[in-house]
Structure 1
Amino acid sequence: LWALALAAAPGSDLQFQFVKAFAGLARTDAQLDTVLQILEEQTPLEGLDIDTDLGWELLISLAAGGRSNAEEIAAALADDHTASGQQSAAHALAALPTREAKATAWASVFDDDSKPNAIVRASGLGFQRAHDLSLLEPYVDQFFASLRDIWQTRSHAIVEELVDGFYPSPLASARLRDATVAWLAANDEAAPALRRMIVEHLAGIERALAAQAVDAADGADADADARA
């Protein structure tokens, strides 16, 4: 993606989209170094307009990679104290790669019922943005333990945001699948709309696990061929 961004026409929408996608996928130290250089306008890119929205995308990428902190996010919010800026700040704070940040993001929307839909959605996006998936492991049980309460106390729209944003789907693990199946089996009398949300997430996890199995089989076949 970075090579494509460099090759794109200066100032073009294609260049902008490649940079945005690169920031969203940046994981390695070298990639995060590049994201920081883009934000500081120290790259060979010509004509790139780092507007407020792209600036937030870059900062969120750095936050998720452990290259930013709450103070820098607060400073960015002070410069963009709009509804969009508040959403981006919530996204960035929830993306910080610490147990404390994930716990704060969770509490900010599960324990506080005053947050609007857009903030709940942004917090969920950041919560799921975890390079270290172990940060999400504690929330498998916590997620299912919360479902009955949020269904009874929140609006349907907020429940959808909470389920979609905080179901720890990046784990894509057998443990998450089994916990999902167990909740559905134990809550067959739950509201159909709530069960439908969980069933949809279960389907996604089952697809991910099936893809992992295919990849593992292909890898085993390749190893066998190499040894033959």
Structure 2
Amino acid sequence: RTEAQLDAVAALLEGSASLPGLEVDTDLRWSLISALSAGGRQSPQQLQAALGSDSTAKGKSSWYTAQAARPTAEAKAEAFEQILSGTLSNDNHGAVIAGFNMVHDPQLISGYTERYFASILKKWTGLSHEMAKQIVVGLYPSQEVSQATIERTDQFLQELGEQHPALRRLLLESRA
């Protein structure tokens, strides 16, 4: 999160620093890229170049994470819309959710609570179980640790009643 920490991550990615026994393989490379992206250290062009050097399905999912991790309101809005669109594969859907939640400043995603609660029932009943579960759990406003989040969750659960017991359970677990 700090400049020094991001410098260390960048050095590992570039190969100008190493750690004994640590091999920067493809998966670790993408983890470093995503961390740098969340820290504002990867431009869209750099992310596109990284994807160009790893056009595998795993590389594409990792690229989605890095894209969604960018620390801008625009990137978070784009990611949120992609998540709700229902057009991504299960893997890429989960990757965008992971990137959306990679924030150094929780304020970047704090404005999504109402949109989350306004959309989850429709997504729960309209998407596959796996995609809906990813949304319900992955987008739950857990970074907004507040009484207001708990109250909003309770309100939603009260409105839901006894319908959709699996959705209820996921929300109760997230609330806890």
TM-score > 0.5, shorter chain as reference: yes
1:85 aligns with 2:48: no
**Unaligned regions of 5+ residues in structure 2, if any?**
none
Aligned to 2:37: 63
Kindly state the Cα deviation for residue 149 of structure 1 after the two structures are TM-superposed.
Answer: 1.1
Counterpart residue type for residue 41 of structure 1: G
Aligned to 1:109: 83
The correspondence of residues 6-21 of structure 1 with structure 2, limited to 5 A, is none
The question of whether the paired residues in 2 share the 8 Å contact of 1:123 and 1:165 is answered with no
Quote the Cα distance in structure 1 between the aligned partners of 2:58 and 2:69: 17
CA RMSD of aligned residues (A): 1.3
Of 27-36 and 168-177, deviating more is 168-177
Give the structure, 1 or 2, with the largest relative contact order (CA under 8 Å, sep 6 or more): 2
Moved over 4 A (4+): none
Identity percentage of aligned residues: 40
Quote the Cα distance in structure 2 between the aligned partners of 1:99 and 1:107: 12
Q: 2:170 aligns with which of 193, 197, 212?
A: 197
Aligned to 1:72: 46
Quote the Cα distance in structure 2 between the aligned partners of 1:175 and 1:73: 36
Kindly state the Cα deviation for residue 155 of structure 1 after the two structures are TM-superposed.
Answer: 0.9
Counterpart residue type for residue 134 of structure 1: Q
The question of whether the paired residues in 1 share the 8 Å contact of 2:137 and 2:171 is answered with no
Quote the Cα distance in structure 2 between the aligned partners of 1:190 and 1:120: 26
Aligned to 1:153: 126
The count of corresponding residues between Structure 1 and Structure 2 is 176
Structure of greater Rg: 1
Counterpart residue type for residue 42 of structure 2: S
Kindly state the Cα deviation for residue 173 of structure 1 after the two structures are TM-superposed.
Answer: 2.1
1:126 aligns with 2:105: no
**Unaligned regions of 5+ residues in structure 1, if any?**
1-26, 204-228
Kindly state the Cα deviation for residue 186 of structure 1 after the two structures are TM-superposed.
Answer: 1.6
Quote the Cα distance in structure 2 between the aligned partners of 1:183 and 1:154: 19
Quote the Cα distance in structure 2 between the aligned partners of 1:165 and 1:120: 10
Quote the Cα distance in structure 1 between the aligned partners of 2:138 and 2:17: 34
Counterpart residue type for residue 125 of structure 2: Q
Q: Which whole-Å deviations, capped at 9, do the CAs of 1:43-71 have from their partners, x for residues lacking one?
A: 25355422111111110000011111221
